Amino acid sequence: MAGGWKRRVALIGGLALAACSGADYTRDGATDDQRRQDEALCRAQIRDLVAKERGIVADREATVGATDQRLGRTQLPGQMAARDDSNRSGRLMSSCMSQRGWTTKKTPGITF
* pLDDT tens track for 16-75: 444 445 578 999 999 999 999 999 999 999 999 988 888 887 787 777 766 666 666 667
pLDDT at 2 over 70: no
For the range 50-57, what are the long-range contacts, defined as Cβ-Cβ under 8 Å and sequence gap of 24 or more?
50/12, 50/13, 50/16, 50/17, 50/85, 50/88, 50/89, 51/9, 51/13, 53/85, 54/9, 54/12, 54/13, 54/81, 54/85, 55/9, 57/81
**pLDDT of res. 23:** 72
**pLDDT of res. 46:** 93
How many beta carbons lie within 10 A of that of residue 62, not counting itself? Answer: 12
pLDDT digits (tens, 9 = 90+) for 60-109: 777 776 666 666 666 776 777 778 778 888 889 999 999 999 998 765 55
**pLDDT of res. 22:** 53
